[in-house]
């Protein structure tokens, strides 16, 4: 059974944050915040969690936490790791969407499908919103490393329902600058607000978004 609030409306409240290590205390604070502010989905980057089986699930107070991290710890502190936290209603909608969990295999990308309202109905009768949590390599990494990440993010995007909606919560580790919608030929991936600074990683990610007709909400 899908929550009427999620199933009959086209709205969903989603938050994304790099937590620099998802400790038990931080997880407790996130879940409490989700309860108080009625947040449906929370995307986490840099959980630093190790998942030997590729992905893991845990439940706290009815909230479902889906983890994807390194299979073996590569440093004492921990690194990488992404997660998606679903409240009770979003968990029911995820179960109705087939309980799919997609992972990149390297602790950088995880995605799930949420069954949404008739307002988002697809031709095949499904009503799916794909939610992805992703953590990009630092901008100082090599071009090849950044491209491997974008390839895996692209796979996540293409594995979703072709007429479904997509929302990605991520730490892009990139400066994409701004763009004026009134200027011809400028990128539509970003808007006129924010920081003007751009770097190579940002240029690459802007191109990635433009080609796929996606945009940044940041």
Q: Are residues 122 and 151 in the same domain?
A: yes
Residues 150 and 213 placed together within one structural domain of the fold: no
**Do 139 and 206 sit in the same domain of this protein?**
no
185, 143: one domain: no
pLDDT of amino acid 157: 84
Position with higher pLDDT, 72 vs 162: 72
Q: Same domain for 44 and 143? A: yes
User: Whole domain around residue 64: which residue ranges?
Assistant: 4-173
Q: Residue 119: its pLDDT value, please? A: 34
Distance CA 204, CA 11 (A): 31
pLDDT given for residue 156 in this prediction: 86
Question: Is the domain of 134 the same as that of 161?
Answer: yes
Same domain for 199 and 189? yes
Which pLDDT tens digit goes with each residue over 18-67?
999 999 999 999 999 999 999 999 999 999 999 999 999 999 999 999 99
Name 68's bridge partners.
55, 82
Same domain, 200 and 156: no
Q: In this predicted structure, what is the pLDDT of residue 185?
A: 63
Pairwise pLDDT comparison (156 vs 59), residue with the higher score: 59
Q: What is the pTM of this model?
A: 0.88
Work out how many domains the chain is built from and give that number: 2
Distance of CA 166 to the CA centre of its chain: 9
Report pLDDT digits (tens) over 97-110.
889 999 999 999 99
Same domain, 142 and 183: no
Q: Are residues 156 and 98 in the same domain?
A: yes
């Amino acid at each position: 059974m899908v929550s009427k609030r999620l199933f009959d409306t086209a709205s969903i409240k989603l938050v994304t944050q790099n937590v620099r290590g998802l400790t038990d205390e931080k997880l407790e604070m996130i879940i409490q915040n989700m309860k108080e502010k009625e947040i449906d989905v929370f995307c986490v980057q840099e959980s630093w969690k190790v998942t030997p089986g590729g992905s893991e699930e845990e439940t706290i107070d009815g909230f479902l936490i889906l983890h994807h991290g390194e299979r073996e710890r590569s440093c004492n502190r921990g690194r990488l790791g992404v997660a998606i936290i679903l409240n009770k209603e979003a968990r029911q909608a995820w179960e109705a969407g087939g309980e799919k969990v997609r992972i990149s295999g390297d602790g950088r990308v995880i995605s799930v499908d949420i069954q949404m309202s008739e307002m988002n109905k697809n031709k095949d009768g499904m009503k799916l919103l794909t939610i992805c949590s992703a953590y990009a390599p630092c901008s100082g990494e090599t071009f090849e490393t950044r491209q491997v990440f974008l390839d895996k993010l692209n796979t996540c995007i293409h594995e979703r329902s072709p007429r479904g909606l997509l929302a990605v919560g991520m730490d892009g580790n990139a400066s994409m600058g701004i763009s004026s919608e009134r200027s011809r030929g400028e990128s539509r991936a970003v808007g006129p607000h924010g920081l003007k600074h751009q770097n190579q990683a940002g240029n690459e990610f802007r191109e990635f978004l433009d080609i796929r007709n996606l945009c940044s909400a940041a």
